């Protein structure tokens, strides 16, 4: 008849082997994930480079604006003419009107202001892409994230939690009145 200690050691050995096997599998999956992420980033870079080469104006697409469906925009055109798509984002200050921003940025602000007005909380870039009727694919989501981060850096938006955006304190309606 086997001893209790012997049975415990046998079960411990089995559990240790299972843990070791799972660790090896996790390491393999982590390595495979890292390789897939590198490949994905290489494709993103390749596409950006081709976009740059094919761009009519020869501009740098890292700073180029991606139109968020201007035909579906809920944002009225800026008084006195529309802002050019590649306009810089100014630092927000009291009384600065949203019309100084391009339509893409105005759409982001409008969506977030509507959520704040309805007390629905911050939005992620994936949720914004879906709300704008865009394909929720990494390229579109990253373009939105870039714009949202730029708005955060310039004081128009706040990021209360990583990846979740809301209007910054003091930023209100499209007219810029606080």
CB-count exposure of residue 8 (10 Å: 0-12, 13-18, 19+)? exposed
Q: Count the neighbouring beta carbons within 10 Å of the beta carbon of residue 69.
A: 13
- Joined together, the tokens standing for residue 96 give 């600065």
Q: What is the mean pLDDT of residues 8-23?
A: 94
DSSP secondary-structure letter at 90?
A: P
Contacts of 155 (CB under 8 A, 6+ apart): 91, 92, 93, 168, 171
The confidence band for 173, taking pLDDT boundaries of 50, 70 and 90, is: low
Contacts of 145 (CB under 8 A, 6+ apart): 125, 163
Q: Give the best-scoring range by mean pLDDT among 44-58, 96-110, 147-161.
A: 147-161
Give yes or no for a contact between 111 and 129, defined as CB atoms under 8 angstroms apart.
Answer: no
Q: Count the neighbouring beta carbons within 10 Å of the beta carbon of residue 83.
A: 19
Does pTM top 0.75 for this prediction? no
Q: Is the pLDDT of residue 177 over 90?
A: no
Question: Closest Cα partner for 84 from 117, 109, 59?
Answer: 59
The confidence band for 11, taking pLDDT boundaries of 50, 70 and 90, is: very high
């Amino acid at each position: 008849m086997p001893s209790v200690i012997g049975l415990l050691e046998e079960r411990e050995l089995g559990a240790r082997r299972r843990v070791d096997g799972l660790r090896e599998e996790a390491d393999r999956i982590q390595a495979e994930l890292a390789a897939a992420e590198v490949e994905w980033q290489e494709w993103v870079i390749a596409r950006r480079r081709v976009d740059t080469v094919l761009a009519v104006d020869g501009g740098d697409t890292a700073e180029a604006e991606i139109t968020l469906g201007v035909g579906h925009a809920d944002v009225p055109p800026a008084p006195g003419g529309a802002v050019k798509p590649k306009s810089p984002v100014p630092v927000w200050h009291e009384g600065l009107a949203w019309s100084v921003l391009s339509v893409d940025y105005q759409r982001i602000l409008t969506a977030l202001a509507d959520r704040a007005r309805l007390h629905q909380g911050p939005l992620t870039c994936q949720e914004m892409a879906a709300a704008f009727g865009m394909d929720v694919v990494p390229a579109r989501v990253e373009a939105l994230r870039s714009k949202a981060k730029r708005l955060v850096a310039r004081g128009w938006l706040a990021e209360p939690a990583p990846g979740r955006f809301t209007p910054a304190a003091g930023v209100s309606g499209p007219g810029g009145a606080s």
